[in-house]
Amino acid sequence: MNKSVISTNAAPGAIGPYSQGIKVGELVYTSGQLPIDPKTGEMPATIEEQTKQSLENVKAILEASGSGLSKVVKTTVFLSDMNNFGKMNEVYAKFFTGDYPARSAIEVARLPKDALVEIEVIAIA
């Protein structure tokens, strides 16, 4: 089975020794996406804005692989504070329609760059 690296300037570059995404066979795996605007390198302040930016970054990586949000089968959402779950969920719901992907939401002690949210997905290529 072939493995290929996915890379796009439409999402932030990796801040460590990892790829933005990997395509293996008919699946695409994205690395966790922080809410960094790839044009400015900045992070928005609110959980709503951060959720939107993280999902825009995921979308860009999926599109670079030939996939898209409609083909996502599993998401994992990392939150620095579970009290932000409701607000994150409101924004998240705008990105997925119809049959929602399976999802895990996990509160973590801390995220890179002190982000409020980080999101990774698995999608069909």
Q: What domains sit in the chain, N to C, each tagged with a CATH number?
A: 3-124 (3.30.1330.40)
Rounded Cα distance, 16 and 63, in Å = 22
For 51, 95, 123, the CA distances from 13, given in Å and listed in that order, are 18, 22, 20
Q: Which of 73, 9, 70 is nearest to 36 (CA)?
A: 9
Residue 6 is inside which H or E element, if any? Answer: strand 3-6
The reported pTM is: 0.96
pLDDT category at 8 given cuts 50, 70, 90 is very high
Task: Work out whether strand 21-24 and strand 27-30 pair parallel, antiparallel, or are unpaired.
Answer: antiparallel
The tens digit of pLDDT for each residue in 98-117 reads 899 999 999 999 999 999 99
The tens digit of pLDDT for each residue in 73-96 reads 999 999 999 999 999 999 999 999
Rounded Cα distance, 121 and 123, in Å = 6
- Average pLDDT of the chain is 96
Rounded Cα distance, 44 and 4, in Å = 31
Show Cβ contacts of residue 121 under 8 Å, excluding neighbours closer than 6 positions: 28, 29, 30, 58, 62, 72, 74, 75, 76, 101
Taking the CA of residue 48 as centre, how many other CA atoms within 13 Å lie in the half-sphere pointing to its CB?
A: 4
